[in-house]
Amino acid sequence: MAIAQAIGDTIEDSGRGEDGGSKKKGRAVPYLLMLPGLLWLSIFFLVPLVSLFLTSLQTPVIGGEVGEFEQTFNFANYVDVLTDKTYYVPLIRSFVYSGIATILALLIGYPLAYAIAFKAGKWRNLLLVMVVAPFFVSFILRTIAWRQILADEGPVVAILRSFGMVGETGGIYPSATAVVLGLTYNFLPFMTLPIYSSLERVDPKLVEASGDLYARPFTGFRKVTFPLSMPGVVAGTLLTFIPAAGDYVNAALLGNSKNSMIGNRIEYAFLNSNDYPTAAVLSFVLMACILIMVLFYVRKVGTEDLV
């Protein structure tokens, strides 16, 4: 009996050990799955970000060639940029343009996503492909195409002239309007797809229940459908506003010198004037402003799914 008891205790202890080992392996699996993503972010996000920050602290080499800098950890570069009022207007203009484009994209994208989610039926997949189809063409080519659409001899100006909204000598391109329209068009899918994803998950029974409680269609939408789609609205506005604020292609191709955004100033400092520290400082200022605005926005109108 003693021998049998000893054998049973040994087997039980070994089982516990195996169970404990499997639990430890189970706990390690999520971290192992995170490694590729963490490695990717470290190489292609964290390392370039640190490099950009170090670049922002450099100063020109005395007696050196143009574009030659040395690392001096000169934090005064940030003071110089923040006190230079010539950068204020492009920075504010960037947020105004991107804000207007985000609102326009929401006004266009929400009805489109609603129609696809609830009214499209068998055409749903086709409409989703049409929403994503612009991504099959280069971003720059799409923007250049808008130059033709908004040109003086283009269809948009012709229609506006027929209604007397534009004079014979007036036009849309190049102008701030063209830049905003380009931003709206290029980032519209980023607004539409998250909203569609949220609307698709809305239970139709909840909408029917609002009707059973004698709510009018608009009231049911305002009280039920729209609040349930808020995660998509918040995600869509962020995905539209953030890249639009840092964009410089639309302002370069659809605007003029009076419509330059902060991204154009950064691009000019990097590629034309070879002023790398100033360009890096402007990049960090832009990132800081966007981060503050995003945190404020999410806190005010965000949902529990995003906060």
Give, as one character, the DSSP assignment of residue 68. Answer: -
3-state secondary structure of 108: helix
Question: What span, in angstroms and rounded, lies between the C-alpha atoms of 20 and 281?
Answer: 51
Question: What span, in angstroms and rounded, lies between the C-alpha atoms of 46 and 10?
Answer: 50
Question: What are the residues whose beta carbons fall under 8 Å from the beta carbon of 90, sequence distance 6 or more?
Answer: 260, 261, 262, 264, 265
Per-residue pLDDT at 189: 95
- Site of tokens 């068998």: 122
The full set of domain ranges for the chain reads 82-301
Over residues 147-158, the pLDDT tens digits come to 888 888 888 888
**pLDDT of 307 higher than 50:** no
Question: What span, in angstroms and rounded, lies between the C-alpha atoms of 21 and 72?
Answer: 52
Over residues 172-227, the pLDDT tens digits come to 888 899 999 999 999 999 999 999 999 998 888 887 888 767 778 788 888 888 99
Angle, CA of 197, 139 and 42, to the nearest 5°: 70
Average confidence (pLDDT) over 280-297: 93
**pLDDT of 61 higher than 80:** yes
Angle, CA of 268, 273 and 277, to the nearest 5°: 85
**pLDDT of 8 higher than 70:** no
Among the listed residues 173, 145, 180, the one whose alpha carbon sits nearest the alpha carbon of residue 157:
173
Question: What span, in angstroms and rounded, lies between the C-alpha atoms of 210 and 220?
Answer: 6
**Mean pLDDT, the chain, as a whole number?**
86
Per-residue pLDDT band for 20 (boundaries 50, 70, 90) equals: low
Average confidence (pLDDT) over 13-34: 66
Average confidence (pLDDT) over 274-279: 93
Q: Is the dihedral of CA 213, 215, 221, 224 positive or negative?
A: negative
Per-residue pLDDT at 223: 87
Q: Which fold has domain 82-301?
A: MetI-like fold (1.10.3720)
**pLDDT of 4 higher than 80:** no
Question: What span, in angstroms and rounded, lies between the C-alpha atoms of 227 and 121?
Answer: 23
Per-residue pLDDT band for 104 (boundaries 50, 70, 90) equals: very high
229: its two tokens: 């789609």
* pTM metric for this prediction: 0.83
Per-residue pLDDT at 257: 85
Per-residue pLDDT at 159: 86
Residue 115's Cβ-count burial label (10 Å; 0-12, 13-18, 19+) is middle
Question: What span, in angstroms and rounded, lies between the C-alpha atoms of 182 and 188?
Answer: 10
8 Å CB contact between 241 and 100: no
- % of the chain beyond a pLDDT of 70: 89
Per-residue pLDDT at 164: 80
**pLDDT of 303 higher than 90:** no
- % of the chain beyond a pLDDT of 90: 55
Helices marked H in 83-154: 88-114, 124-132, 139-149
Tell me how far apart the 2 most distant CA atoms of the chain are, in Å.
108
